[in-house]
Amino acid sequence: MSGSNPEHAGWFTGLDPGDVEAAATAISEGETGEPQNWPEQAVQSGFAGDEDEYYSVLHEATRRATREAVTERERADDQQLTHAVSAMDDAERTANELAERLAEWAGSLERDVPTGIEGARAVASWSPETPVQERVVSLAERVVDLDAERADLRSFVESHAPEVAPNLAAMAGPVLAARLIALAGGLESLAKKPAGTVQVLGAEDALFAHLRGHASSPKHGVIFTHEYVRGTPTENRGSAARAFAGKLAIAARIDHYSGAYKQSVHDDLDDRMATIRSREAGE
């Protein structure tokens, strides 16, 4: 087929100059050891009339190849999960920020306005009588909507994460699994990270302060949100975080390289956590 290149051949070998699709495939998939004077060869072989024409075809073909490759890589499910969990965090942060502003504003009109999203709900149910109240109520409605969007994004993450990373989602919970994937930059990069890195993902500031010699090493990053870490008494929390991160790293690798759910890794972690927690109980 025209898209495949024999060895030591330029991307254009055997291509019809008008076939941009085949050209893009050849650029994406072809390989050769040594570069050559491709523009000259293309002109000699009759692929292009002159160098300008060659470069013009190359321009179109490289843009198409890169666009297709970018779309394909960005559409990957782990990337979608990353966007969803980041959007969820943004929606939550923004809703809270606006709710604070709203509480300030609404508090100047009425007494005893509750704070936070609950306050926004209360204000949204007012019947506005003045132009000012109209604005306040309208803002409250936006905050309530934004909070609903956050909830929808969360359910999307909860349903989507187990499809992308069944072991990781089962072990960490879907939202934490998505956060870990987002912090690592994808499931593949998470699978390639050592457990010690997984343990402190999300604690980069603390980690670099430690590396510069200003602070002790962080025990945990975003995995702190999990019951296994947060629910373990302080003196054993480091051990718990280390054990948990170790199994998370393995779960990510299983998810990336095999994709099948594997019960034994979850049982191992449960055993290990029981041991760590019994330390305190036994003493």
Partner 1 sequence: MSPSLPDGVERRSFDGRERLATRGEPVYGEPQDDDGWRPWDAGRSKLGAMLELGLDLGLDGGERVLYLGAAAGTTVSHVADFAGPTYAVEFAPRPARDLLDVAASRENLFPLLKDARKPETYAHVVESGLDCIVQDVATRGQGTVALRNNRFLAPDGRLLAAIKARSEDVLSDPADVFPDVLADLRTEYEILDTQRLDRYHDDHLAVVATPK
Least separation in angstroms between residue 199's CB and partner 1 is: 17
Could you tell me if 216 and 210 are in contact, meaning their C-beta atoms sit under 8 angstroms apart? yes
**Positions in 175-214 near partner 1 (CB under 8 A):** 208, 211
Binding residue (CB under 8 A) for partner 1 from 14, 17, 32, 116: 32
Size of the site for partner 1 (CB under 8 A): 32
Options 2-10, 109-117, 226-234, 244-252: segment touching partner 1 (CB under 8 A): 2-10
Query: Is 56 one of the binding residues for partner 1 (CB under 8 A)?
Result: yes
Closest by CA to 117, choosing from 75, 71, 89, 148, is 148
With both helix axes pointing from N to C terminus, report the angle between 77-107 and 116-124 in degrees, rounded to the nearest 10. 70
Binding residue (CB under 8 A) for partner 1 from 16, 63, 135, 148: 63
Spatial CB neighbours of 185, under 8 Å, sequence gap ≥ 6? 82
Give Cα separations from 162 to 3, 29, 71, 154, 243 (angstroms).
37, 32, 23, 13, 22
Could you tell me if 93 and 100 are in contact, meaning their C-beta atoms sit under 8 angstroms apart? no
CA distance 143 to 131: 19
Least separation in angstroms between residue 163's CB and partner 1 is: 21
DSSP character for 10?
-
Residue 41 or 236 with smaller CB distance to partner 1: 41
Binding residue (CB under 8 A) for partner 1 from 44, 45, 66, 275: 66
Least separation in angstroms between residue 79's CB and partner 1 is: 8
Query: Is 31 one of the binding residues for partner 1 (CB under 8 A)?
Result: yes
Options 37-45, 144-152, 162-170, 242-250: segment touching partner 1 (CB under 8 A): 37-45
Options 51-59, 92-100, 232-240, 254-262: segment touching partner 1 (CB under 8 A): 51-59
Least separation in angstroms between residue 74's CB and partner 1 is: 5
Interface pattern 69-108 for partner 1 (x via CB under 8 A) = xx--xx----------------------------------
Angle value at C-alpha 88, between 75 and 269, nearest 5 degrees? 85
Angle value at C-alpha 93, between 109 and 193, nearest 5 degrees? 170
Query: Is 228 one of the binding residues for partner 1 (CB under 8 A)?
Result: no
CA distance 237 to 232: 5
Residue 41 or 239 with smaller CB distance to partner 1: 41
CA distance 185 to 222: 14
Q: CA torsion sign, 88 to 94 to 96 to 102? A: negative
Give residues in contact with partner 1 (CB under 8 A). 5, 9-11, 26-28, 30-39, 55-56, 58-59, 62-63, 65-67, 69-70, 73-74, 208, 211
